[in-house]
Structure 1
Amino acid sequence: MVEVRLRVNGVDELLDLPPQVSLLDALRDRLGLTGTKKGCDQGACGACTVLADGERINSCLALAVQYTGREITTIEGVDDPLQRAFVRNDGFQCGYCTSGQICSAIGMLAEHAEGAPSAVTEHLAGPGELTDAEIRERMSGNLCRCGAYNGIVQAIQEVAR
């Protein structure tokens, strides 16, 4: 067992875990934060996206022990205009991917504001206009089986303005 200290949604947590426990499983099974979803458990779908010190990560690929001392934000700790924009723009259907989509969008907007390049804007020196193509590329790690992509893009555009 390994002692893992996390700050999750503003609350200090101390967990005794086997070293191979993923951050996703620690959040869901040990802390009862089930808003973060287990989709593919292989880092391909983005349903498990959370924020670690403000950066988006796939929690299914992260060992909890790797994040000792870090600030983890799950959907339960999010109060962001994106949530309301997703509702207004029908950015979800079944809702399974929504928590990961919202956490990813928060991280993506921060990356864009900091001027982090993407495949669409690698030629730019700083943050440019956030186009639909840019949003789609930056959010490509989050899949929606229902196909609510147009509403997701509209919600992100609304908040980015």
Structure 2
Amino acid sequence: MAVPLLLAGALILVPQRRLLNRVVLLAALTASTAGGVTLVLGSLEGTTLAHAVGLWPGGIAIPFAADMLTALMLTVTGLLTTTCAAFAMAAGSADRPFFAPLVLVLTAGVNGALLTADLFNLFVFIEVMLLPSYALFVMAAPGRARPPASRACDCT
């Protein structure tokens, strides 16, 4: 989850280059998918993998937990995000400014929401997931002029 966030920050700091954005985006999404597959393989026997981020005591740390359902959801999410990003690149939508960083932040939010084992952090990751989705939605909306104000119609 931290890798897409760090890469999104790095892409924002460097000048916008089309090829660099595409390579970093596809590499990060492929790595996310590979991480999901690794978690699937690690939880085949019904084990639940858990980790407290920051090594703080319980109640303060951000607890992450992955079971088979979480691992499958991460894998499917990674596959779908990679496919959608490749389609956006083929359609030319990925050439818009900040497309790649927004997709990476969205991916980090989804992965965090799936992995967290804490209700508070679930709400935090949902917000992290929603903010870039709003920006991507606005970027994808076709640019239309505002319709003219309607005049009063005397229909009698």
Q: Which of the pair has more CA radius of gyration?
A: 2
Do they fold alike, i.e. is TM over 0.5? no
State the structure with bigger RCO (CA 8 A, min sep 6), 1 or 2. 2
Pick the structure with more strand per residue: 1
Q: TM-score, normalised by structure 2?
A: 0.31
